[in-house]
């Protein structure tokens, strides 16, 4: 068992689910999307990697509506806002040594905890402002991750690490809240849970 630690850059983007509602004139579908980037720290124990990051980015909900006559479509959206989040990752890895490169398949989970969410005006989000849920934490997500990584030796102790993992994000609580409140207004609303995305990381590490 060898231990290492390091720091680097993280980028994550993906869908979180969708809502569909009957607006009277047509059927509208909003797709919830979150894209973020930032820095992170990691601690590695050969077969397990634990990471902690701080990320900023944007939430958006682009959508499309179809008129009930079925002959045409129109764009619709629930707006967007800036988010700040803490990202926690736990990955299992199986390192395979090839010369000065170590390749590892990856499988694990991540939790993206949204700490704050603000409009461009710096106002906090809230229901009644573009139909958002009540608070930032409602947009936190759990994701299941599968991918691969590689460590490139610089010296015996210093290495560069690159990882890429596809993920499936479980639907955040915000979607259920939007549907619940939509039902009071539209009477005909439903949700689709979860969505796919990808996470990239690039880091420099040190072996103890």
The mean of the pLDDT values for the chain is 85
Task: Answer with the residue of higher pLDDT: 161 or 68.
Answer: 161
Domain that holds residue 50: 4-207
pLDDT tens by residue, 5-28? 999 999 999 998 888 877 777 777
Strands (DSSP E) contained in 155-208 are 158-169, 189-193, 195-207
- Closest residue by Cα to residue 200 from 33, 35, 29, 50: 35
Task: Answer with the residue of higher pLDDT: 179 or 187.
Answer: 179
The whole-angstrom separation of Cα 5 and Cα 43 is: 4
Comparing 21-25, 53-57, 126-130, 153-157, the range with the smallest average pLDDT is 126-130
Task: Answer with the residue of higher pLDDT: 24 or 58.
Answer: 58
Q: Which residues pair with 153 in a beta bridge?
A: 159
Highest averaged pLDDT of the listed ranges 31-35, 49-53, 56-60, 191-195: 49-53
The whole-angstrom separation of Cα 83 and Cα 73 is: 30
129 — pLDDT class (breaks 50, 70, 90): very low
Please give the pLDDT value at position 85.
Answer: 95
Total of domains in the chain = 1
Given a cut of 80, is residue 184 above it in pLDDT?
no
The CA-based angle 48-50-53, given to 5 degrees, is: 155
The CA-based angle 179-182-188, given to 5 degrees, is: 90
Task: Answer with the residue of higher pLDDT: 67 or 131.
Answer: 67
The predicted model gives 134-140 an average pLDDT of: 81
How far the first Cα of the chain sits from its last, in Å, is 11
Please give the pLDDT value at position 18.
Answer: 85
Given a cut of 50, is residue 45 above it in pLDDT?
yes
pTM: 0.83
Looking at the chain, the whole-number percentage of residues with pLDDT higher than 70 is 86
What CATH number is attached to the domain comprising 160? 2.40.160
């Amino acid at each position: 068992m060898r231990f290492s630690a390091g720091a680097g850059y993280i980028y994550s983007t993906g869908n979180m689910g969708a809502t569909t509602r009957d607006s009277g004139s047509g059927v509208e579908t909003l797709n919830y999307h979150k894209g973020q980037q930032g820095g992170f720290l990691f601690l590695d124990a050969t077969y397990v990697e634990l990471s902690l990051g701080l990320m900023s980015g944007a939430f958006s909900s682009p959508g499309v509506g179809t008129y009930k006559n079925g002959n045409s479509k129109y764009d619709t959206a629930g707006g967007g806002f800036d988010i700040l989040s803490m990202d926690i990752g736990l990955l299992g890895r199986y390192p395979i040594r090839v010369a000065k490169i170590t390749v590892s398949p990856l499988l694990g989970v991540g939790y993206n905890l949204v700490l704050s969410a603000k409009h461009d005006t710096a106002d906090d989000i809230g229901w009644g402002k573009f139909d958002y849920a009540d608070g930032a934490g409602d947009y936190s997500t759990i994701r299941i991750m599968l991918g691969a990584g590689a460590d490139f030796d610089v010296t015996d102790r210093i290495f560069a690490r690159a990882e890429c993992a596809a993920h499936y994000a479980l639907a955040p609580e915000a979607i259920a809240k939007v549907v619940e409140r939509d039902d009071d207004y539209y009477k005909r609303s439903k949700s689709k849970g979860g969505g796919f995305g990808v996470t990239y990381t690039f880091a420099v590490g040190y072996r103890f």
